[in-house]
Amino acid sequence: MRLFIAFDIPDAIKEVVWELEKGLSKLTDRVRFTPKENMHLTVKFMGEQPDFALIKIKELLSSEVNKHACFKIRFDKAGVFKDIQHPNVLWLGEENPEFERIAATLNKELEIFRRPDNKPFCHLTIGRVKYIKADDLLEAIKFCRDFLKNNELSFMVDTLYLYESKLFKSGAVYRKIEKFHLKGV
């Protein structure tokens, strides 16, 4: 099964991001936007895992996640991955030491199942970018940054989820397998 570990986004924040996506859709048709039901903050992508690994992954998450305290996330940046010349993901994010600590812990503890990710970055994927002109991309990023200046997107995270991801032609479908509370919940 294809797995990932993520924090949920509160519904109120999803609604605001959805409004951002609607505004962006008027600027460009070169971004496939993330549906509200799929919005999350990935901490660790696990990829395909055999069924027998699921028990051990759950045990490791159960023993490690509650060592980390609840924390606040506030999106204050917008940009693209890979880079401006080769964009494939449009995101909102922030530098967040608490997010980075928990991601580093899970990278270390779960490396027997999946190689460690590069430096983790707290971000929400707004959409996937396809063949966009540089001027249109820069306009979309500016639109996102202006939106963030006028809309505070902040929330507390207190629960981490293990998800299963199934890919279909119509898009990905996510199913929560189990939840793990951070310290203080």
Give pLDDT, residue 60: 97
Both tokens of 41, joined, read 């903050």
Give pLDDT, residue 115: 82
Instruction: Give, rounded to a whole angstrom, the gap between the first and last alpha carbons of the chain.
Output: 29
H or E segment to which residue 141 belongs: helix 134-150
Both tokens of 2, joined, read 């294809």
Give pLDDT, residue 107: 93
What are the residue ranges of helices labelled H in 10-169? 11-25, 51-64, 97-109, 134-150
Domains located in the chain, CATH noted:
2-181 (3.90.1140.10)
- Selection from 37, 44, 30 nearest residue 14 by Cα: 37
Give pLDDT, residue 161: 99
* pLDDT tens per residue, range 111-145: 999 887 777 899 999 999 988 888 999 999 999 99
68 in active site: no
The number of angstroms, rounded, from the C-alpha of 156 to the middle of its chain's C-alpha atoms is 15
Give pLDDT, residue 125: 96
pTM: 0.92
Give pLDDT, residue 13: 98
Asked if residue 138 lies in contact with residue 28, where contact means CB atoms within 8 angstroms, the answer is no
C-beta neighbour count of 32 within 10 angstroms: 12
The residues of the chain scoring below 70 in pLDDT are: none
Angle of the 134-150 helix axis to the 11-25 helix axis, nearest 10:
140
86 in active site: no
Burial tier of 117 (Cβ tally within 10 Å: 0-12, 13-18, 19+) = middle
Give pLDDT, residue 134: 87
Give pLDDT, residue 106: 96
Of 68, 86, 123, 181, the catalytic one is 123
H or E segment to which residue 105 belongs: helix 97-109
